[in-house]
A = this chain, B = another copy of it.
């Protein structure tokens, strides 16, 4: 019997199965510094203890996506080591601020599975929850992945496909943000004078800048998240694989695009929910990432006068500036240089 984990295959997942993932991880200011070095993020709340404390936080919370990546990374050895593709996200909620010193763990429940018609793979739906050592839930989200079958002759299970929300209800937003002392919000320090009321549904913003990704960078990032998916790290095998190159972790793209979005959305300080997301095309080292955003909706949050919510579509491209807001072609298919279509709720001070 081998002591080595080779990951789960499609047949190994059962509806209702709960998996407690290894390895608990204490988040530190070291992680925060690396996150800044990897993406150049400039949102004031996450960058400055003084700014955050003035608003009512205990100190600067870590970037929401750092929380996401760490929780996601824990699920990889059990959920997606044999994944062919990470198909999508839905229903992601940020439930509590995470501070340096907090220890994050993750647990997942299998909530759906459906074999593909080719009989070789299937789709597994998983709800994963990140929580602290004290038991506080900080994040939950659903993702679905295409996983290989161990044995192509094994019978197809009865398909179970969970009903997933197209977007989170605004009432569910803001749990990870204390009631803000609005007078402490300094637009100069935050980097923009545009507040919640300055944004309108349908508005599109080109984030202008581009960022070229190096192999060392995405490997450092993905290891920082203790994400072990083989495709990101092994040129010896991936060089002979379907792409001929290491595939960059999709979350790296989300973080790059989010950091680029500061230019135009500097006051969108918090990701309150992930409505959905798709990695439309792969990214490789040497490519340059650009991004643009569309305001899909704006919403008040019941009981809160300090912040409003913007539903944003964040689109990333590779090697293509976004002044023309590239997305889909006339047949409704993604244009070839679009790599990410990400739908989230951001909070912004009023």
A33 interface hit (Cβ, 8 Å): yes
Contact B44 A23 (CB under 8 A): yes
Q: Assess the A220–B37 pair: CB atoms within 8 A.
A: yes
The minimal Cβ–Cβ distance linking A157 to chain B, given in whole angstroms, is 25
Shortest A6–chain B CB gap in Å is: 7
Q: Does A265 touch B at the CB level, under 8 Å?
A: yes
- Residue A87 at the chain B interface, CB threshold 8 Å: no
**B interface footprint on A316-330 (CB within 8 Å = 1, 0 otherwise):** 000100000000000
The proximity string for A residues 199-239 relative to B, scoring 1 for CB distances below 8 Å and 0 otherwise, is: 10000011111111011110111111011101001111100
Complex Cα spacing A101 to B264, Å: 29
- Give the distance in Å from the alpha carbon of A77 to the alpha carbon of B42 in the complex: 11
> B223 touching A37 by the CB < 8 A rule?
yes
Asked if B22 and A42 make an inter-chain contact with CB atoms under 8 angstroms apart, the answer reads yes
Stretch from A24-32, A89-97, A145-153 contacting the other chain: A24-32
A interface, size bucket:
35 or more
Tell which of A6, A20, A220 has the most Cβ of chain B within 10 Å.
A220
Complex Cα spacing A219 to B215, Å: 12
| A286 close to chain B: CB less than 8 A | yes
Contacting residue for A28 out of B32, B199, B219, B236, CB 8 A: B32
Contact status of A33 and B36, CB under 8 A, knowing A42-B226, A198-B3, A228-B209 = no
**Apart from A24-B47, A209-B233: 20 A-B pairs, beta carbons within 8 A:** A4-B205, A5-B263, A6-B208, A22-B192, A23-B47, A23-B191, A24-B50, A30-B34, A36-B226, A48-B133, A209-B234, A210-B230, A210-B237, A211-B234, A212-B234, A212-B236, A214-B216, A217-B220, A228-B263, A236-B319
